[in-house]
Amino acid sequence: MLQVTEIRENKDAFIQALTKRGIDAAEDLEAVIKADETRRSTQAELDETLSQSNKFSKEIGMLYKNGEVDKANAMKEKTVELKETSKKLQEQLNAAVEELEQLLHNLPNIPHESVPAGTDENDNEVVMEEGEVPKLGDEALPHWELAKKYDLIDFELGVKITGAGFPVFKGKGAKLQRALITYFLDKNTEAGYTEYQVPHVVNEASGFGTGQLPDKEGQMYHITGDNLYLIPTAEVPVTNLFRGDLLMHNELPITCTGYTPCFRREAGSYGAHVRGLNRLHQFDKVEIVRIEHPDNSYAALDGMVEHVKSILRDLKLPYRILRLCGGDLGFTSALTYDFEVFSTAQDRWLEISSVSNFETFQANRLKLRFKNSEGKNELVHTLNGSSLALPRVIAGIMENYQTPEGIKVPEVLVPYCGFDMIS
């Protein structure tokens, strides 16, 4: 959520920045400023009224103390009108606040200055590319065929018990997935992240705090009976651990990692791109989350990018990093780097990580602040990234590591798997 005081001061800069997302926010921002003015003037009027009635109350108290009951009773009558006025003003104020919040909730974050302008994924900027793309023969198979050949994943069984997009992992397929989760968590904790195990369902306040609600309501599974939501990413429960907190500056940064399944309705997805593991309703992911001092958040973002790189180097997967353009940038993000692994057999890039700095956007919704070194309260910066999302990593490994004899297991995973070949 953007900060009103900043909009008030830099309206034009905000309008300018939002054009990068392909949004003309001039009208909305003007409405924000107007609603804010109404809010402030109503508040001032209400405060004045309340101030009056506070004064009367104190005087009445004094009169009673002095035994001047008649005078006190006379004064009581004066308060009646004030009460009615303040009630009316309070209602007006509530309406103004609600209108203002409505507007603010629907405005996306301001893109960082380095974010390229653009409308969709075609305008994303390739920052770097690394790793060797293996040369596979013509007989190379996509992962959904390999999964069948070696009996690693059963998509039909998932359909039977739940529906499309809920695969069942079996045997060495299941074990490979478990190995990856443990390996990722080890890698993250070695880098200093504290491991958390969190609930996989969250309440409405949590969904709002990280910005999934109300923006992405339709993408989440909603448990209507209890008004809870299945998490679309560990970002939601983990970041919300700190919702409403006022931290001390020396507590920063806070760094967390956690493994959770993720649930996404993916309404509107279709076609060959959703085949196999490419797009699922339930998938596993290991996430890293950082709560940072604003001065350090971009250095921290770079650090997270380096960290994810080192994992992909370990796994010896060819990958590239994209800087998302304004049009492809998530609602809450100021700057996002996507990591993609090249799948040789599919001849396409698969997104396996997304690393973002949300600056104060989430913190403002979460009311997550810290006391700075001057003793003043300030919003923190929040960041998160996948390290990593499992299914496409598995797809990438299966496809890139296939040989006529079977699928080789990346060296770093062998100790975690207990086998070095799937055949």
Partner RNA sequence: GGAGGAAUGGCAGAGUGGUCGAAUGCGGCAGUCUUGAAAACUGUUGAGGGUCACACCUCCGGGGGUUCGAAUCCCUCUUCCUCCGCCA
Smallest distance, Å, CB 368 to RNA? 11
- CB neighbours (10 Å) of residue 16? 12
Contact at 8 Å (CB) between 233 and 215? no
Cβ atoms of 46 and 18 closer than 8 Å: no
CA distance 283 to 259: 11
Span from 59-67, 287-295, 330-338, 394-402 in contact with RNA (CB under 7 A): 59-67
Q: Within 13 Å, how many C-alpha atoms sit on residue 233's CB side?
A: 21
CA–CA dist 165, 275 (Å, integer) = 9
**Least distance (Å) from RNA to the CB of residue 284?**
22
Residue 376 CB, shortest distance to RNA, in Å, is 7
Q: Report how far residue 172's alpha carbon sits from residue 151's, in angstroms, rounded to the nearest whole number.
A: 8
The binder of RNA chosen from 43, 92, 182, 282 (CB under 7 A): 43
Number of residues that bind RNA (CB under 7 A): 31
User: Which of 22, 58, 197, 419: binder of RNA (CB under 7 A)?
Assistant: 58
Q: Which SS3 state, helix, strand or coil, does residue 93 take? A: helix
CB 243 within 8 A of CB 366: yes
Among 88, 78, 98, which residue's Cα sits nearest to residue 35? 98
Complex with RNA: residue 21 or 39, whichever CB lies closer? 39
Q: Does 66 bind RNA (CB under 7 A)?
A: no
Q: How far is the CB of 31 from RNA (least distance, A)?
A: 16
Nearer to RNA, 38 or 182 (CB): 38
Q: Is 246 in the site for RNA (CB under 7 A)?
A: yes
**Judging by DSSP bridges, how do beta strands 125-130 and 168-169 pair with one another?**
unpaired
The residue (of 133 and 246) whose beta carbon lies closer to RNA is 246
What is the Cβ-side half-sphere exposure of residue 292, based on CA atoms within 13 angstroms?
Answer: 24
- CB nearer RNA, residue 252 or residue 398: 252
Angstrom distance (rounded) from CA 238 to CA 206: 10
- What secondary structure letter does DSSP report for 67? T
Does residue 228 contact residue 203 with C-beta atoms inside 8 Å? Answer: yes
**Residue span binding RNA (CB under 7 A) among the ranges 45-53, 274-282, 320-328, 408-416:** 45-53
Strand partners, 286: 259
Q: Does 218 bind RNA (CB under 7 A)?
A: no
Q: Does 50 bind RNA (CB under 7 A)?
A: yes
Query: Of residues 64, 84, 106, 189, which one binds RNA by CB under 7 A?
Result: 64
The alpha helices in 214-296, defined as continuous H runs, are 235-240
Options 14-22, 98-106, 367-375, 393-401: segment touching RNA (CB under 7 A): 367-375
295 in contact with RNA (CB under 7 A):
no
**Residue 161 or 248: which CB sits closer to RNA?**
248
Identify which range of 159-167, 216-224, 308-316, 370-378 contacts RNA by CB under 7 A: 370-378
Minimum Å gap between C-beta 68 and RNA is 12
Q: Which of 264, 281, 365, 369 binds RNA (CB under 7 A)?
A: 369
Window 140-169: contact mask with RNA (x via CB under 7 A): ------------------------------
Q: Is 53 in the site for RNA (CB under 7 A)?
A: yes
Considering the complex, what minimum distance in angstroms separates the CB of residue 51 from RNA?
Answer: 4
Up-side HSE of residue 27: CA atoms within 13 Å toward CB?
3
Distance CA 236, CA 217 (A): 13
- Could you say whether residue 250 binds RNA (CB under 7 A)? yes
Q: Give the nearer residue to RNA in terms of CB position, either 57 or 162.
A: 57
Among 56, 166, 221, 416, binds RNA (CB under 7 A): 56
Residue 83 binds RNA, judged by CB under 7 A: yes
Which token pair is 66?
């002095």
* Inter-CA distances, 421 with 147, 406, 407, Å: 14, 7, 6
Q: Is the dihedral of CA 279, 282, 283, 289 positive or negative?
A: positive
Helices (H), 287-384: 297-315, 361-366
Footprint on this chain of RNA (rule: CB under 7 A):
5, 36, 40, 43-44, 46-48, 50-51, 53-54, 56-58, 60-61, 64, 76, 79, 83, 246, 248-250, 369, 371, 373-375, 377
